[in-house]
Chain A
Amino acid sequence: MQDGRQSIEGMLSPYRALDLTDEKGLFCGKILGDLGCDVVKIEKPGGDRARQIGPFYHDVYHPEKSLHWFAFNANKRGITLDIETADGQDIFRKLARSADFVIESFAPGYLDELKLGFSELSLLNDQIIVASITPFGDTGPYRDFKASDIVAMAMGGLLGLCGEPDRPPVVPGFSASYLLGGIEAALGSLMALRWRRIRGRGTQVIVSLQDEVLTASWDAASYWGGSKMISKRSGAFSVRPNVSYRITWPCKDGFVTFFYFGGQTGAEGNRALVEWMDREGIECGRLKEQDWSSFDWDKLNQDEVDYFEKPLLPFFMSHTKAELYEGAIKRNIILYPLANAEDIVNNRQLQARGYWTELDHPELGARIAYPGAFVKASETGCTTRRRAPLIGEHNEEIYAKELGFSKEKLATLRQAGAI
């Protein structure tokens, strides 16, 4: 277990980002923060709406207790600012003068209306990089269409591939499009950083959630574009041109994912699994003589597939997911449990690599473990080192210490509802 407070310099430590995003883009600032960037989350006075997204600490519905907020706003400082007031806009411009990145996920054109869009900001600071996370891009026929996660997932093609044939397509349960959009916005921002280095000025980064989902919707576009075929959702099964085989299997206490992987990659594990099943008295028949290095689903018919799969169900049902996974690691079998949070927290590989990072939440009297580095770097740090900000926690630090606002001015701004 790492202590988040001890950290070495991150790759992005000279830079600052102003984070105006809602739940569609919160992950972007988190990632930049993991790499050492000084990320300032700008919330509406009273706190962002995203603080109302559950789950909540000890199930107490409270804007300072959203675990969703904790997860995607760690490593950020936080100030309150209403950019719809003239005073708020003034302050935002001041902040933008010395910032490197502005990250936003408003409807396209909203910041331009407030005269805070890329073109205005770049007049104040030609080094500024503005990353815009949009549903469909900043131009084009669907520019002003709305998209929540399920709609972006639908229109990027991934939703149609998820779920079972006898029911409607089903959306992955973790707002995948928002998270992909956040990662891509961080990536685009860093590409823009290089552009700034070689061209001497910043630029605008456009992320379209629809495009992000398209990136993840694997072979849908290739099937139609390459052979005029429609890929369809097949749930727990993989459907090949001639046969289909199961990927998700029930076991004693949950589910595991397994299929005989063809070629050299899967050969050792397939052979070992058959031996294991055979030793436990499961009838494996011809599978014991199978030459796995030449195994290929596309050379089988469905009866043969059924024969290959027959021993799997009774075998899996007689073991827990932990037993199966342990055995799979030992034997190089390509099998994973369908892990829940408990399985992930207890995973030995993650523990051996010192993955988890504990952060103090003094106001809750708690210390909570967070996912750690998304990459291990030899020279620099990538870590979760600071818990998510409380509402307006760093107003003093930024407004008084950094911008030099007097107590009186701060009081006026507060009463005017600007901060």
Chain B
Amino acid sequence: MGQGPNEIHLFEGIRVVVFAFLGVGPHSAKYLAEYGAEVIKLESPSRPDPMRMVPPFRDNIPGLERSQMYSKIDNNVYNMSLNLKHPKGVNIAKKLVSQSDIVIDGWTPGTLPKLGLGYDDLKEIKPDIIMLSTCMQGQTGPSSRHPGHGVTLGSLSGLNIVTGWPDRAPSGISGPFTDVVAALFSALTLQAALDYRSRTGKGQYFDLSQYECNIHLSAPRILDYLVNGREAARQGNRCSYAAPHGVYRCRGEDRWCALAVFTDKEWRAFCAVLGNPLWTEESRFATVVSRVEHSAELDSLVETWTVAHPPEEVMAAMQNAGVSAGVVENGRDLWEDPQLKHRNSLCQLEHPETGEAVCQRVGVSLRDVPYELRRAPLLGEHTEHICQRVLKMSDDEFVELFSDGVFD
């Protein structure tokens, strides 16, 4: 995308081996892969990435090559099939690591060391290897082997209890939110490690606990508990220093617009958009403090106006007046959003099994730095390529290993 053949890629010459399934490891590798690293993910028909079974499937037809979550996360990656239960499989993995810069380990703590592929083993064959292990709660400690996943870790990290309505049970944050946070922390740790290696020649090992990095998001509330003994309450959509502040029903089925009015200036602009109805002049809405105090009444009055308009109109009118407002976008809105289109955030890439497949570019962009997007690979698609081009195997050797079941 947007680069000529002579352009340098950011991670040109960097090779990454991924022993990781589902969200965190593969997502952190995306930042390297889209910017030119050669990222090789190991999977096998006997142990495919469970992400391949995560819906939605293309056109609602389940299949190993049809998950649109897999296609969204695993783009730009080379996929090698390797059976690590086979002793020769482990040797091949070692050979691969000996020619690599980074190893990402997202499997259950202890799995790779047991296979002879722990950091101490890999350091022997590649002294400056950078290895990052990412799991739920870290490689050590009494809960390190306790199974878990990113859909519910938001509960343990204190994110779910503060999300929802004060008069109801917590509704929690949707999806594996903590996976995303851990993926970003993993990716940035790898960036720092590459720089450190450039300066010092040293590789190193990282133990990243998804739990520990997500607790940073709760830091102010933890300090509040430690010094004031207070537990934060669920606030719904309220904000203690802005009103109106919330999500307002608009015209259409399940259509909503978020609004946030902070200053008096914004309040006046907001009222003008509504055509300055009489209630906006009431003294109980005259100051921020007073508006916050009467936000329940204010919310229902605001909704009498928003409900008559589609959310797109509310957003446009408010933003033109300098008020923070936005459509609560559903999946369809996201694909039609002109800003996301402009930034090329979402796209469909040609795919041999499904025609097209959903791809989502990493969030950050760097001025003048080229990236490219290639569809997610089929299971084992690049096994032969990696064996021949990277591992320099002869055809005979490859065929022998193949019939030996090393790639099963």
List of 3 A-B pairs having minimum Cβ-Cβ separation, nearest first: A224-B331, A218-B175, A226-B68
Instruction: Report chain B residues within 8 Å CB of A35.
Output: 192
Nearest residue (CB) in B for A149 is B260
Specify which chain A residues have a CB less than 8 angstroms from the CB of B146 in the assembled complex: 328-329, 332
For B137, B169, B219, which residue has the most chain A Cβ atoms within 10 angstroms? Answer: B219
Given A221-B72, A222-B56, A379-B202: A187 and B162 interface contact (C-beta under 8 Å): no
Check A174–B159 contact: CB distance below 8 A.
yes
Which A residues from 236 to 283 make CB contacts under 8 A with B? Answer: 236, 240-241, 247-248, 250, 254-258, 261, 263, 265-266, 269
- Contact status B332-A151, CB under 8 Å: no
Inter-subunit contact B222/A176 (CB<8 Å) = no
- B258 and A154: CB pair below 8 A? yes
A377–B206 contact, CB under 8 A?
Answer: yes
- Could you tell me if A118 and B363 are in contact, using CB atoms closer than 8 angstroms? no
Name the contact of B228 in the complex, choosing from A55, A157, A240 (C-beta under 8 A).
A55
| Residues of chain B within 8 A of A172, CB atoms compared | 159, 162-163, 173, 177
- Which one of B38-46, B278-286, B342-350, B396-404 is at the interface? B342-350
**A216-B175, A352-B142 known; A225 and B188 CB under 8 Å?**
no
B383 at the A/B interface (Cβ < 8 Å)?
A: no
Q: Pick the contact of A183: B71, B173, B184, B194 (CB < 8 A).
A: B184
Q: Mark B216-245, 1 if CB is under 8 A from A, else 0.
A: 111111111111101110111101111001
Q: Which of A149-173 contact B (CB under 8 A)?
A: 150-164, 167-173
Quick check: A220 and B331 within 8 Å, CB to CB?
yes
Residues of A within 8 A of B368 (CB): 203
Asked if A148 contacts B149 (CB within 8 A), the reply is no
A161 CA / B256 CA spacing, docked (Å): 12
Is A313 an interface residue when CB atoms closer than 8 A count as contact?
no
- Among A31, A221, A343, residue most surrounded by chain B Cβ atoms (within 10 Å): A221
* 29 intermolecular pairs with C-beta atoms under 8 Å apart: A52-B241, A55-B228, A70-B223, A136-B339, A142-B339, A159-B328, A161-B174, A163-B171, A183-B184, A187-B187, A190-B188, A191-B10, A198-B10, A207-B363, A214-B360, A220-B330, A220-B331, A221-B360, A224-B332, A226-B68, A235-B171, A248-B171, A254-B161, A255-B169, A336-B148, A341-B218, A344-B218, A375-B206, A379-B202
A57 touches B169 (CB 8 A): no
B6 interface hit (Cβ, 8 Å): no
- CB neighbours (8 Å) of A163 from chain B are 164, 171
Give the interface segment out of A78-86, A364-372, A390-398, A409-417. A364-372
Chain B interface, number of residues (Cβ within 8 angstroms): 153
| Interchain nearest-CB distance for B310 vs A (Å) | 14
4 additional contacts (CB under 8 A) given A139-B342, A190-B195, A221-B72:
A58-B227, A173-B164, A219-B68, A235-B164
Contact across chains for A225 and B335 when beta carbons are under 8 A apart: yes
Q: Which of B55, B151, B159, B367 contacts A241 (CB 8 A)?
A: B55
Question: Which of the residues B161, B232, B337 comes within 8 Å of A155, measured between beta carbons?
Answer: B337
Cα A169 to Cα B165 with chains together (Å): 10
Decide: B152 and A366 in contact? CB cutoff 8 A: no
Q: Is B207 touching A375 in the complex (CB atoms < 8 A)?
A: yes
What residues of A have a CB within 8 angstroms of the CB of B245 in the complex? 150
On whether A227 and B159 interact (CB within 8 A), knowing A146-B323, A344-B218, the answer reads no
Known: A55-B224, A68-B220, A168-B247. A229 touches B237 (CB 8 A): no
Complex formed: what's the CA distance from A206 to B365 in Å? 5
Q: How far is the CA of A334 from the CA of B145 in the complex (A)?
A: 11
CA distance A397 to B144 in the complex (A): 44
Complex CA–CA separation, A184 to B144 (angstroms): 27
Given contacts A219-B175, A227-B56, contact A341 B204 (CB under 8 A): no
Question: Are B226 and A345 in contact, CB atoms less than 8 angstroms apart?
Answer: yes
Report which of A174, A224, A269, A329 forms a contact with B334, defined as CB distance below 8 A.
A224
Q: A265 to B10, Cβ gap below 8 A?
A: no
Q: In the complex, are the beta carbons of B219 and A211 less than 8 A apart?
A: no
Q: Is the CB of B319 within 8 A of A146?
A: yes
Say whether B148 contacts A215, CB under 8 Å. no
A11 pairs with B138, CB closer than 8 A? no
Within 8 A of A (CB), among B324-382: 324-335, 337-340, 342-343, 345-346, 348, 357-358, 360, 362-369
**A residues 175-200 with Cβ under 8 Å of B?**
176, 179-180, 183-188, 190-195, 197-199
Select one of B143, B223, B360, B363 contacting A348, CB under 8 A: B143
Question: Measured between alpha carbons, how far is A217 from B69 in the docked complex, in Å?
Answer: 12
For residue B359, give the distance in angstroms from its CB to the closest CB of chain A: 9
Which chain A positions have C-beta within 8 A of B118? none
Measured between beta carbons, the chain B residues less than 8 angstroms from A171 are 163, 237, 247, 258
Q: Determine which of B12, B230, B340 lies in contact with A210 in the assembled complex, contact meaning CB atoms within 8 Å.
A: B340
Is residue A322 contacting chain B, with contact meaning CB distance below 8 A? no
With A230-B330, A339-B158 in contact, do A221 and B339 touch (Cβ < 8 Å)? no
A195 touches B174 (CB 8 A): no
Q: How many residues of A contact B (CB 8 A)?
A: 151
B340 touching A380, Cβ below 8 Å: no
Q: Who on chain B is nearest to A344 by CB?
A: B158
- A338: CB under 8 A from chain B? yes
Q: Are B246 and A168 in contact (CB under 8 A)?
A: yes
Most buried by A among B35, B138, B248: B138
| CB-based contact B173/A263 at 8 Å | no
- A226 touching B334 in the complex, CB below 8 Å, given contacts A159-B258, A375-B208: no
B254 interfacial contact with A, CB 8 Å: yes
Q: Give the residue of B138, B172, B192 whose beta carbon is less than 8 angstroms from that of A376.
A: B138
A337 x B364 contact (CB < 8 A): no
Does A193 contact B195, Cβ atoms closer than 8 Å? yes
B171 x A170 contact (CB < 8 A): yes
- Pick the interface stretch among B57-65, B75-83, B86-94: B57-65
Q: Is there an interface contact between B205 and A378, defined as CB atoms closer than 8 Å?
A: yes
The CA of A336 and the CA of B339, in the complex, are separated in Å by 38
Once the chains bind, are A180 and B180 in contact (CB under 8 Å)? yes
Interface centre among B141, B142, B192, B322 (most CB of A within 10 A): B192
Which of A54, A337, A349, A350 has the most CB atoms of chain B within a 10 A radius of its CB?
Answer: A349
CB of B191 closer than 8 Å to a CB of A: yes
Identify A162's interface contact among B163, B242, B337, CB under 8 A: B163
The reply on A101 being an interface residue by CB < 8 A is no
Cβ contacts under 8 Å, A256 to chain B: 155
| Complex contact B365–A55 (CB within 8 A) | no
Name B326's contact: one of A27, A67, A139, A155 (CB within 8 Å): A155
A261 to B50, CA, bound (A): 13
Tell whether, in the assembled complex, residue B343 and residue A211 are in contact, meaning their CB atoms are under 8 Å apart.
yes
User: In the assembled complex, which residues on chain A have CB atoms less than 8 Å from the CB atom of B11?
Assistant: 194
Beta-carbon contact of A208 and B363 below 8 Å: yes
Q: Which residue of A lies closest to B168 (CB)?
A: A164
A140 close to B (CB within 8 Å): yes
Q: How far is the CB of B333 from chain A (nearest CB, A)?
A: 8
A84: shortest Cβ distance to chain B, in Å?
Answer: 18
Q: Which residue in A11, A58, A139 is a CB contact (below 8 Å) of B196?
A: A11
